[in-house]
Structure 1
Amino acid sequence: MITLPGYRIVDTVIEADTWDLYKAFSMQDKAIVCIKKDTKSTNYAQRKAEVLHDFYMAKQLTSNYVLKPLQRKNHGGDIYIVMEPFSGRTLMDWYENSKPTVKDLIAIALRIAHALGTIHQERVIHKSIHPQNILIASQGNGIKITGFYQSTTLSSELPHPNVSPYQIKDHIAYMSPEQTGKMNRSLDYRTDLYALGVVLYEMLTGDLPFQTDHPAEMIHAHLTKLPIDPSSITTKIPVMLSTIIMKLLEKMPETRYQSAFGLKEDLAICLNQTGTIVPFILQQKDKASVYERPSELFGREEASKQLLEGFYRIKEGGTEFLLVPGPSGIGKTVLINELHKPLVKEKGYFISGKFMHLNKEIPYAPIIHAFQILLRQILSEGEASTAKWRSRLIEELDTYTAVIVNFIPEIKWLIGSQAEQSDLPPEGIHNRFRQAIRRFIGVFAKGDHPLVLFLDDLQWADSATLDLIHYLLINPNNQHLLIIGAYRDNEIFVGHPFEAMLERLKQEKVQITKIPIHPLTKKHIKEWGWDKTQ
């Protein structure tokens, strides 16, 4: 039981996986309130940021279906949120202890859909809909939504693709394909509808749609696998209800329900029927609440095919250099992000860095940034995985660990401080550095987890980084490494350092694959226009 000055804690209302809710008496206001305390195991700074975001997002909402925060209190290094009075339990607790009938579940699903619709009306994407954040009131089975720590007020959002599956492993079972960041498309309100589909699937069948404990495998399932139809698991689930849930679980947002209120209307039809639910046409009152921007890549089929072929070649073994030239804004980065889907399946790593026009005086800056991303991904994978990587790095880097520590100080979080090496002449230091980088990459660029290094705006690359890229390509060392470089070919002139490096690589018989990106033709523009009017 917690203690908080100014409040007398009366009872524990809810003990969820990542937060607790207490009933309390406010000494100042002489009133009953609830106090919410976050219990996540994340680091303090992240936990504090999430609690504050949850507080301010929920406080601005006017929906009666949101568990309202009243004020925040700091005590003993923790943040406590004083909430409106509430008596009830989580949806999961209600399900496990009430043994609801199918009709009970439809009624609750209808209320949840309505509650979610009111939140979406205020242009908020919740992004964390799961049974612990849906609350059922003790009296009347009223609905309250909580857990706005990931929510956004944008009508759509582009998730960051460089996020490790382990960084989003909490409640990943309820995450839409687009929210994983691996679909190369933005997410909108419909991500919450997918999550609700997972919740309803679990409530009806007793199991999640996909059964795996590995975060990367779960993401791959969301992206590519179809869940078993609920009505084929048990005949107690009406076919129409099963069809509604499968519609919510469509991979592409445009083929799901387009609004929570449209879902509510179809659930109401199911609820109002007695006995067998007569088949009816779904989505008759389902209207899209957002403008759908094109997510398909038009006119890039051949380029995308070449990109994927390059990845699968290095998956089998080898190091390749793949170049994507084209003018600024033509879609080079969007094309390259298509690699995230197969990478998830193959448990690979995608890291990236971008050269800046004014940062040429900082050698290796984009590569350092890419390696920092890689280390953060590794550190997010849990203690067992981190221990495995720590052992591999120490073993394979051997006497080169101190060199890597000087180059990427963040690696000390993983392997600890290392003893300095004896001094070498300048040429020896340079060679030792390049060998250390090659060994470091070799730890991660394996057949069971290939590595993709994407370097953007190579036309602004510094000479030291170009020299390092050249060294890695002519000394592949049995690695599974794909280096992708995007650059503005209209800014490469005769004698440019990047052009000089390419000439050296050609002379040394290094395979270079170029995938030039050209402006869309009239045919492609017509296809895009036709797609948007359907």
Structure 2
Amino acid sequence: MSSTIAGYNLLEVLYEGAITCVYRAKRVSQSDLGSTVIIKTLKAEYPTVNQLNQLKHEYQILQDLEIEEIVKPLALENYGNGLALILSDFDGESLAKAIATRPFELKNFLQTAIHLAAILAQLHQQNIVHKDIKPYNILVNPATGEVRLIDFGIATRLSRENSTISSINGLEGTLSYMSPEQTGRMNRSIDYRTDFYSLGITFYEMLTGQLPFLGTDALEIIHSHIAKTPVPPHLVNSEVPEALSNIVMKLLAKTAEERYQSTLGLKADLELCQEMLQTGKISLFQVGEFDLFSQFLIPEKLYGRDREVSLLMSTFARIAYPQDNHVNAGKTEALLVTGYSGIGKSSLVNEVHKPIVSARGYFISGKFDQFQRNVPYSALISAFQSLVKQLLTGSETQLAQWKTKLLAALGNNASVMIDVVPDVERIIGEQSPAPELAPTEAQNRFNLVFQNFIRVFCSPEHPLVLFLDDLQWADAATLKLLDVILTDAETGYLFLIGAYRDNEVSPSHH
């Protein structure tokens, strides 16, 4: 990147991420010489349509917001092959820089924390969920204590949205500050309370100088967000009063229902701490007493399905944890979920996301279509295409390991797999065509190759959960292949879950 953007000289980098850069810059036009702005640009020389749309989306959201503490948009300009979002400047530094250069005194922490709670209160009142609260997106003026919130690239206007399992590189947000539900591994939708969790991580860092979860591996960090309780801040830094530590821990609750339910409740607790500090010291009190439900939200829990959830969990545990001496440990198991359309079969199955992450397993899914019954293996192929796409986001070392495993398993028949899951070729390279065979032999060969292919992904390190929905519309070839896989003594660490509408399956259906 050059030191200029049309009409502006770049002064300093405020933030540099994988996709975007944020700069402070000075105008060079004669009419407005010397005034500074903040510029957000895309790093790629040829940005994707999605990246360009994100900047347009951010400009639109900021235009509609009338909140003083939000940095105002001035223009969205063409720059190279992409766009540059021009924002009004705020004489401050990123909170991340402040955390790195000096510890936060309690007085300064509470002043900044109360400002942030007030900003979130205004955002949430306008049904805006930021989804990327972190120190890099918070500007603070050290002299005045004023605070500004930036980077609305993934903010949403929805009061609630669903998050799906995607590859690590496809997750929206910043992994270290991401709420459990935002990882897509919790079978919970995202609402305004995701911002409370990210704010809790930010507060934790301000008070202790470190993140609550320090893993270097992406799956390890996701597992920590979902399943591990962080060490309370007052045990990391003895200068932090226990009451303030309890506020942070409430923000960091794993389920949204256990966090603060309103920014007003959070702000009230922080202001109480501030009042106590001004008159002496912060004493222990019951946090959350001033918390009120600012919005009516139905808790996301599967009521009346405890037995079914328990069955799913225990079946997965048998497959994933052979060291616990389970019967059938490490074997292949299948479980069928039946019921009418809309009864919640998929929601029930999605409850296993959490233990899958804990076991560092893979969860893939495919759905049969009544209008594609003439397309053999459609749901299976869809599921494994998504898995291969996940693998392709790995490091060069990881890809080399997968290449070795796949070539060893597929041998001279590797091209048979490439024909149905084309992205496999991106891992193992171009392969010689397999010999032509008569239809029956070709079918048998395909079943054998697919068996070998599946075994590559089923291991003690990475158990595999395969969810196939709407099995009532499965084609005969898929059902035959599933029978072969499930009766294969050499395949283990595989949990096949099938869901079907029993009212649409006739007695003659096999």
User: Normalized against structure 1, the TM-score is what?
Assistant: 0.87
Aligned residue number for residue 519 of structure 1: none
Deviations 1:26-79 (A, max 9, x none): 638636333212348997455334333333333332222222222222332232
Deviations 1:159-197 (A, max 9, x none): 11x323454396212111121222222221111001111
Of 125, 130, 139, the residue aligned with 2:129 is 125
Q: 1:13 to 1:408 in 2, by over 3 A?
A: closer
Letter in 1 for 2:196: L
Alignment of 1:31-70 (within 5 A): 32=35, 33-39=37-43, 44-70=48-74
SS in 2 for 1:288: coil
Asked whether the equivalents of residues 167 and 377 of structure 1 are also in contact (C-alpha less than 8 Å), the reply is no
Deviations 1:72-105 (A, max 9, x none): 2233223211111233221110222244312111
Gaps of 5+ in 2: 321-328
Q: Give 1:142 deviation, angstroms.
A: 1.8
Q: 1:241 to 1:59 in 2, by over 3 A?
A: same
Aligned residue number for residue 217 of structure 1: 220
Q: Does 1:110 align with 2:114?
A: yes
Of 375, 400, 406, the residue aligned with 1:362 is 375
Asked whether the equivalents of residues 67 and 145 of structure 1 are also in contact (C-alpha less than 8 Å), the reply is yes
Letter in 2 for 1:9: N
Letter in 2 for 1:20: V
Of 351, 357, 368, the residue aligned with 1:344 is 357
Distance 1:322 1:68 in 2: 54
Q: 1:2 to 1:15 in 2, by over 3 A?
A: farther
Distance 2:120 2:44 in 1: 24
Distance 2:440 2:45 in 1: 47
Aligned residue number for residue 14 of structure 2: 14
Alignment of 1:358-507 (within 5 A): 358-496=371-509, 500=510
Letter in 2 for 1:347: R
Aligned residue number for residue 323 of structure 2: none
Of 208, 212, 230, the residue aligned with 1:227 is 230
The more displaced of 197-206 and 12-21 is 12-21
Distance 1:42 1:386 in 2: 25
Distance 2:11 2:402 in 1: 44
The more displaced of 29-38 and 56-65 is 29-38
Gaps of 5+ in 1: 501-534
Aligned residue number for residue 142 of structure 1: 146
SS in 1 for 2:371: coil
User: Normalized against structure 2, the TM-score is what?
Assistant: 0.91
Asked whether the equivalents of residues 364 and 462 of structure 1 are also in contact (C-alpha less than 8 Å), the reply is yes
Deviations 1:343-382 (A, max 9, x none): 0011111111111122212221111111111112112233
Of 247, 260, 264, the residue aligned with 1:261 is 264
Q: Does 1:24 align with 2:29?
A: no
Q: Does 1:279 align with 2:284?
A: yes
Asked whether the equivalents of residues 100 and 209 of structure 2 are also in contact (C-alpha less than 8 Å), the reply is no
Letter in 2 for 1:290: Q
Q: 1:478 to 1:167 in 2, by over 3 A?
A: same
Q: 1:41 to 1:217 in 2, by over 3 A?
A: farther
Aligned residues: 496
Give the root-mean-square deviation of aligned CA atoms. 2.3
Distance 2:441 2:253 in 1: 57
Percent sequence identity over aligned pairs:
38
Distance 1:195 1:422 in 2: 55
Letter in 2 for 1:348: G
Q: Does 1:293 align with 2:295?
A: no
Asked whether the equivalents of residues 24 and 35 of structure 1 are also in contact (C-alpha less than 8 Å), the reply is no
Letter in 1 for 2:7: Y
The more displaced of 171-180 and 333-342 is 171-180
SS in 1 for 2:398: helix
Asked whether the equivalents of residues 390 and 414 of structure 1 are also in contact (C-alpha less than 8 Å), the reply is yes
Highest RCO, 1 vs 2 (Cα 8 Å, sep ≥ 6): 1
Deviations 1:309-351 (A, max 9, x none): 2212222322122111111111111111111011001111111
Distance 1:324 1:383 in 2: 39
Q: Give 1:418 deviation, angstroms.
A: 1.9
Alignment of 1:196-211 (within 5 A): 196-211=199-214
Q: 1:13 to 1:471 in 2, by over 3 A?
A: closer
Asked whether the equivalents of residues 128 and 150 of structure 1 are also in contact (C-alpha less than 8 Å), the reply is yes
Q: Does 1:239 align with 2:252?
A: no
Give every structure 1 segment of 4 or more consecutive aligned residues whose post-TM-superposition deviation is greater than 6 Å: 40-43
